[in-house]
Structure 1
Amino acid sequence: MLWLHIVQYSGFFLAQITNSALVYLILTKAEKLFGTYRHVMCTFAMYSLIYAWIEVLTQPVMHIKGPCFIVFMDSPLKYHSWIGNMITCLYCGSFALVISLLAAQFFYRYVAMCRPELLAKIEGFKLTYIFIPCIVCFVLWFEFVYYGMANTVEKQIYMKEELENYYEEDSERVAFIAPMYWSIGKNGEKIWKFGEIMGSTGCVCIIAVCFSTIVICATNIYLTMKSVNCHMSARTLELNHQLFLTLTFQVVVDFEDRIHFKDFQTLLPFIMMYSPVGLLITLPLFEVYVGSIANFVPASLAVYPSLEPLIAMICIKDFRKTILCSSWRKISPRVTAYITSSGAIL
């Protein structure tokens, strides 16, 4: 518990620093570089600041036992049942907003690179359209958790001994959410709880849709960049490579300040967000006893918002030069010729 809270508080403070720095760089350096896309980047960075506050306000602890996993609050509000349960549900819904906003970034880059004729449909105020699916994911996840994983007396009894032994916590008092996929009847038969299974299935579907969007968009962006090298200026192509590297987080920076591809993967969010939460939801179906090892998930989710801005600061050369106090290179007129009226890089 001590180490988990150290990680959570460290992630919170680092997230405030790194995301604030990224917002500053976007507002001051990115207008001519990235056009309208800077609004999408800035939205993700600003929401990461909010997410870090929700996470530290919840201080979630997770545990898996049999057909049940539990997410309980360990902040000072944990014994205020109504507000505690609402904040815990809000924390879970906030995760859905993080992964869907990441998918929205990939979708915008896909439109800018592969379907530039559609850019007019998401210019200006219309840019908010790409955030509507993100809000839908947030609302759906919140509802799945609130109704499908509600705090019940049966779950309190089932997890009582486990929480006392591992965390010295009273399951009847602490705020939590937990799906319980089945219970055991009087004759030893399994009584399936289809409402809770459907809630967890909905959460897994949201993860699958977001990750599939990222993979499909990233694949098309990569293939487009490989096929149109001769039609882009070197500078424009380099900027698109930097943005692609920012999203996929596979980068090598050499001593001559060049950036190269290492692999084609969305490695960081897959390891730190999609996989841990997906396993947390699915392992209880197979009665895999994980116990307190499940707390890798809240630790990972606490750290991720502080790392994501660092990727942009490293991969985008102008950001990196600003941070390192290097000389600022002005964008040449030739590059601006490749920027649309909306400011998006083609």
Structure 2
Amino acid sequence: MISFENWKSMLIYSQWIGGTLGVIFNLFLILLIIYRSPQHLGVYKYLMMYISIVQTVFSILDVISKSITFSYGSVFMGFRYFKHSNIGRAQGFHLLSVHGGTFGAIISLFGVHFVYRYGVVDLAFRKRFLSGWKLVLIFLTPILAFIWWTSVVLLCFGPSSESDSLMRISLLQGCDTRIEDISYFIVQYHSLSEFNQLSPVWSTFFGMACIWIITSSSIFCVVYFGIKCYVKITKALKNSKMSSFYTKSIQHQLFVALVFQTLIPLILMYGPAGILFSCPMLNIEVGVWSSFVSATIVIYPAVDPLPTMFIVESYRKTILCK
């Protein structure tokens, strides 16, 4: 059985490696987008750059925060050690809040990506919903999701003396960690009444409802517009003429990349985060193994750029020096 100290070391190494590779790969992809993009990409390349920039910021914040998740009963928390850090306890909580907000921006970007990709292949949809100020609005959506998610953490999931007392023993037993040595946010679904009965913490349910709205709307856009995009591109490829073969080929390459970029967040972000959010609400004990979510999430920004880099032909040829 691996000790928590060894597991914590593995998490820190994974955060450094995943964060560093996330920054390198995303910056390299930005250079490819600027200098090696196919001519028919148009505004779509700016959305791709937007995604890479947000993922770069997320990787940097993940390395700085070194956050670890922990679940106990109907509670889960994200924390970072501040004892040997220049960032104090209060500042650490704000750092974790901003880090969570960046996660929310990435979740929102999944949905935006698929909405825009469908607009690329459906001219009528693009003219109706993705032109003029509406295009600006869709680019602002991840920023609004960032502000909303960060505000929820700050207002609904802040630490207190009561939460210190609640988590002190379980944190010491599960993570060999003193509550006084960490900054943290805490999501407590239920509290014990004076009659030892569980009663809901409504501020937590309100905060999680906001987070589920962001997450579920993103999943809906991914599934709904992903299916419509697949049907549209399939029909276009069947009916394509030689004069438009290059454009259809680019669309096909981007869609294949998008399929992989759907599976990657489903496995590394949507799935683990959904388990972390849901199990405490159902009072299912996960314990220290909930920190596995920290490992999967930090890997995501390093893996996500790879499908685009190797599936889009002009990018692949540049990487392979062809």
Fold in common (TM above 0.5)? yes
Matched, 1:14 2:41: no
SS of 1:50 mapped into structure 2:
helix
Letter in 2 for 1:114: D
Kindly indicate whether the alpha-carbon contact (under 8 Å) linking 1:160 and 1:170 is maintained by their aligned counterparts in 2.
Answer: yes
Letter in 2 for 1:244: F
Matched, 1:323 2:319: yes
Alignment root-mean-square deviation, CA: 2.0
Matched, 1:40 2:47: yes
Letter in 2 for 1:223: V
- How far apart are the structure 2 equivalents of 1:239 and 1:125? 27
Cα 1:41–1:220, aligned 2, differ >3 Å: closer, same or farther? same
Letter in 2 for 1:304: Y
1:331 aligns to what? none
Kindly indicate whether the alpha-carbon contact (under 8 Å) linking 1:12 and 1:302 is maintained by their aligned counterparts in 2.
Answer: yes
Letter in 2 for 1:230: N
SS of 2:191 mapped into structure 1:
strand
SS of 1:187 mapped into structure 2:
coil
- How far apart are the structure 2 equivalents of 1:117 and 1:141? 29
SS of 2:180 mapped into structure 1:
coil
Pick from 245, 257, 278 the counterpart of residue 234 of structure 1: 245
Q: Which stretch shows the higher mean deviation, 189-198 or 165-174?
A: 165-174
Q: CA deviation at 1:187?
A: 1.4
Matched, 1:68 2:75: yes
Q: Which runs of 5+ in 2 are unaligned?
A: 1-7
Q: CA deviation at 1:117?
A: 5.8
- How far apart are the structure 2 equivalents of 1:285 and 1:78? 34
2:104 aligns to what? 96
State the TM-score, normalizing by the size of structure 2: 0.91
Higher helix share: 2
- How far apart are the structure 2 equivalents of 1:161 and 1:293? 17
- How far apart are the structure 2 equivalents of 1:128 and 1:50? 21
Kindly indicate whether the alpha-carbon contact (under 8 Å) linking 1:78 and 1:84 is maintained by their aligned counterparts in 2.
Answer: no
Letter in 2 for 1:70: M
Runs of 4+ deviating beyond 6 Å = none
Letter in 2 for 1:310: L
Pick from 217, 240, 249 the counterpart of residue 260 of structure 2: 249
Q: Which runs of 5+ in 1 are unaligned?
A: 251-265, 327-346
1:105 aligns to what? 113
Pick from 106, 129, 135 the counterpart of residue 143 of structure 2: 135
1:259-308 Cα distance to aligned partner (Å, 9 max, x none): xxxxxxx2111111111111111110111111111111111111100111
Matched, 1:294 2:277: no
Kindly indicate whether the alpha-carbon contact (under 8 Å) linking 1:22 and 1:45 is maintained by their aligned counterparts in 2.
Answer: yes
Letter in 1 for 2:225: C
Letter in 2 for 1:316: V
- How far apart are the structure 1 equivalents of 2:198 and 2:141? 37
1:172-229 Cα distance to aligned partner (Å, 9 max, x none): 3421001111111221122221111111122122111001111111111101112223
1:56 aligns to what? 63
1:26-54 Cα distance to aligned partner (Å, 9 max, x none): 00011514111100001111121111111
Q: CA deviation at 1:125?
A: 7.8
Pick from 232, 238, 243 the counterpart of residue 224 of structure 1: 232
